[in-house]
Structure 1
Amino acid sequence: MKFDRVWFRNFRNLKDQSIDVSYKQVFLIGENGQGKTNMLEVLYFLCYGNSFRTRNLREVTRHGSDDFLIGAEFHDVHEDSREIILKYVEGKKTVLLDGREIKDRREVIYNIPCVNFSYDDIDLIRGEPEFRRNFFDQSLSMYDPLYLDDLRHYKAVLKQRNAAVKTNMKQMMETYNLLLARYGLRIQKARNEACSVLNMIFPDFYKNIAEDGRNLTLSYRPSWDGLDSEEKIAEYLGENWERDQRMFSTTSGIHRDRFIIYDQNGLFQNSGSTGQLRLASLILRTAQAAFFRRQTGMNPVMLIDDVMLELDSRRRGAFLEQLGSYSQAFFTFLLDEKYFSGDSDESSKCYHVINGQFEAQR
């Protein structure tokens, strides 16, 4: 699976154009603010149907415009040639897959599974628990549509239960408790299994790349720890109805789960330096790609945005070695960076990005 050609109109600062990206490795070279990350955002949009930077689609529309359009020709996981178009017109987002309008985003995300490496990924290590929950949810949803369905159902029931809590609709409590327990328990089990698998990958990756003597461990702390059946969870929710009323929300559930990263010194986010935390976030994304390969036998598309800038030559080499196989990778670099060898072979293409214009380099 890979992108073959990408086009865009009225998207951020990018000039309206169509670009040949039918290469295993695509290098986007340029100074900051020229449009390299915007290009990766286009690709992410086409993989997931949304942006990794904003939920407000007006923000990605070029200044002075009211709409935008992005699209691509690509080969999907079955190596079939496809076309996807995403457009935003009059405040409405529309996705077309091979000319057919897509109503459900799940029809988009399984065509080109991608792993996105971003400078903001440090929040996966030191940010609020929600960032790590979202990381695990994305890791599982990339290949498991049943998990995605359970997550959607859980969020819908949670919203209904929260409304019932606020208005004291106790007659609905039992129904909502049972539904929340059903979907939540399945999500909890999947998260627990995913954490176990990632714990066999992430610590070794960190040890091989960082070589700083720290032994990292991922730990899953479910909100419903020790509750191993739908009946027990539903009963627990019922017992806490009055507490939930005082807090105006459901105070337990998978939306309160925590994922902890610690080492021999305790919480890693408290003892690690900023450089170590940033490196760990980069390695966690690498582990996400390895997790996807392990679960599916497929190689994802990689979007790697300037994250190697702070790595010394040894760690950069170790990172690229640990990165593993990919079906396609897009790298962004500054002009004066020495990106890895292989940039001149036939499987690679380099574009110089200047003011949103992509100029092919020989």
Structure 2
Amino acid sequence: MFLKKISIVNYKNIPSQTYNFSPTINCFVGNNGVGKTNLLDAIYHLGMGKSYFTPSALHNVRHGEEFYLIDGAFQHQEREEQIVCSLKKGQKKVIKHNGKAYERLADHIGKYPMVLISPSDRDLIVEGSETRRKFLDSVISQTDREYLELLLRYNRILLQRNTLLKQMAENNTFSVETLSVYDEQLAPLGQFIYQKRKDFMEVFLPIFSYQYAYISGGKEQVGLQYDSTLHEKSLEELLVENLPRDRVTQYTTVGIHKDDLLFEIEGYPMKKYGSQGQQKSFLIALKLSQFEILKRQLGVTPIVLLDDIFDKLDDNRVAQLIQLVTQNHFGQLFVTDTHSERTEQVVKQTGLTYQLIEF
């Protein structure tokens, strides 16, 4: 699978542009702020149905305009498939596959897998557990439709339970019996999601360890652990035990919505003890492992997007990353950089055909 062509209208700072792409390597080079990353994000948007960088779809509309439209042609095996993502202010976002709109945007997930590696991925290390859970859920959801469905259901029931806890506090009333109605639905969903995450991590961890050792040359030991209160007790037990605390805080304090991924280097938190290069290597290994999992489980080679990837990596680690590409491991690759000579020197070493688009 690869993206042959993209047409963009009013997406972020792009007024109207059309690009044709190489099925192997495509490089976007130019100064910062000229739109390289926005083009990368538009490609990601086609595959994933949303921006990688902007949570609100409305904020992707170019200033002063009323809509955005992204129209792409994918080559998938022997056929060409068209995906159109559009949004008009005041209306819902629409995604069309070969001219037919999806009834639910979730139905698009997993069809055109993308893996984007960006400097903003550092949020996975420095921000709270929600950012890491979103990463975990995103990877699993692309390969497991049931997981996505039950996760959405869990979040809806969790919101209802939290709303009820708040209403009870405001009205100075408390009913264990009423809460138990939600707990009876939440507990089995939570157990299912927990087990899926646990099973996924057992497959993911060896792949991640290999990828990091390859990029770093085996210079340091890193760790990645799935942290959950459900390791010790069932969600049903935890909800009962923490009922007094939930009543005081007015929200549900335990459950899979509190899970985390622990990033470590030499047994210490990566956030505090990892250098910038080590942190970036960790994140690249994380994303390359995501690529490998998606490729194995979907039977489709994901498109890889590398945004400013060579920043803060030493020459040895860049060389290791290049070797991964030359092993014919990847399908289509998109790269952004500020230095055209450096980019061209790097991609020439792959021996693959490439296209250079200057901004």
What's the TM-score once normalised by structure 1's chain length?
A: 0.89
Take 2:44 and 2:82, find their aligned partners in 1: how far apart are those partners? 15
Q: CA RMSD of the aligned region, Å? A: 2.1
Cα contact 1:118–1:304 (8 A) shared by 2: yes
Which secondary structure does the structure 2 equivalent of 1:16 belong to?
strand
Distance 1:42 1:221, change over 3 A: same
Given the alignment of the two structures, is residue 182 of structure 1 paired with residue 188 of structure 2, yes or no? yes
Q: What aligned pairs does 1:118-267 form with structure 2 within 5 A after superposition?
A: 118-168=118-168, 170-211=176-217, 213-227=219-233, 232-267=234-269
The residue number in structure 2 matching 1:87 is: 86
Q: Deviations along 1:228-275, whole A, 9 cap, x unmatched?
A: xxxx42243133223111111100001101211223342222211233
Asked whether the equivalents of residues 190 and 256 of structure 2 are also in contact (C-alpha less than 8 Å), the reply is yes
Q: Is the 2:222–2:267 contact (alpha carbons within 8 Å) kept by the matching residues of 1?
A: no
1:276 aligns with 2:278: yes
Secondary structure of 2:309's match?
Answer: coil
Displacement of 1:346 in angstroms is: 7.3
**C-alpha separation between the residues in 2 aligned to 1:170 and 1:71?**
52
| Alignment CA distance shift 1:190-1:37 (3 Å) | same
CA displacement 1:265-294 (0-9 Å, x = unmatched): 422222112332122112211121122223
Contact persistence 1:126–1:277 (CA under 8 A): no
Cα offset for 1:49? Answer: 1.1
- Code of the residue aligned with 2:335 in structure 1: it is F
1:3-22 Cα deviation digits (max 9, x unpaired): 11100111122241221124
Alpha carbons 2:29, 2:340 under 8 Å: kept:
no
Residue-by-residue CA offset, 1:13-61 (whole Å, 9 max, x unaligned): 2241221124221111111111110001101111111111112233222
Distance in 2, matches of 1:350 and 1:343, equals: 15
Secondary structure at the counterpart of residue 53 of structure 1: coil
Please say if 1:107 is aligned against 2:107: yes
Size of the alignment, in residue pairs?
348
Provide the C-alpha distance between the structure 2 equivalents of 1:117 and 1:204, rounded to a whole number of angstroms.
18
Pair 295,96 (structure 1): closer, same or farther in 2 beyond 3 Å = closer
Q: Distance in 1 between matches of 2:351 and 2:276?
A: 36
Note if contact 1:181-1:233 (Cα within 8 Å) is conserved in structure 2. Answer: yes
Name the counterpart of 1:326: 330
Counterpart code for 1:65: E
For 1:17, the equivalent position in structure 2 comes to: 17
Query: Which stretch has the larger CA shift, 198-207 or 131-140?
Result: 198-207
Provide the C-alpha distance between the structure 2 equivalents of 1:138 and 1:102, rounded to a whole number of angstroms: 19
Which has the higher mean CA deviation after the structures are superposed, 162-171 or 140-149?
162-171
Preserved CA contact (<8 Å) 1:343 1:349: no
Q: Is the aligned partner of 1:315 residue 2:317?
A: yes
The match for 1:358 is: none
SS of the equivalent of 2:63 reads: coil
SS in 2 for 1:302: strand
Deviations 1:109-155 (A, max 9, x none): 22210101111111222321112111111111121111111111111
Stretch moving more, 269-278 or 44-53: 269-278
The aligned counterpart of 1:32 is 32
| 3-state DSSP of counterpart to 1:262 | strand
Partner of 1:356: none
Closer/same/farther in 2, CA of residues 32 and 241 from structure 1, 3 Å limit: same
| % identical aligned pairs | 28
User: What is the TM-score when the length of structure 2 is the normalising length?
Assistant: 0.90
Take 1:29 and 1:258, find their aligned partners in 2: how far apart are those partners? 36
Consecutive unaligned residues in structure 1, runs of 5 or more: 354-362
Instruction: Name the amino acid aligned to 2:347.
Output: S
* Residue of structure 2 in register with 1:335 after alignment: 339
Structure with more helix by fraction: 2
Contact 1:165–1:241 (CA<8 Å) still a contact in 2? Answer: no
Alpha-carbon deviation of 1:210? 1.8
Alpha-carbon distance in structure 1 between the residues aligned to 2:203 and 2:136? 12
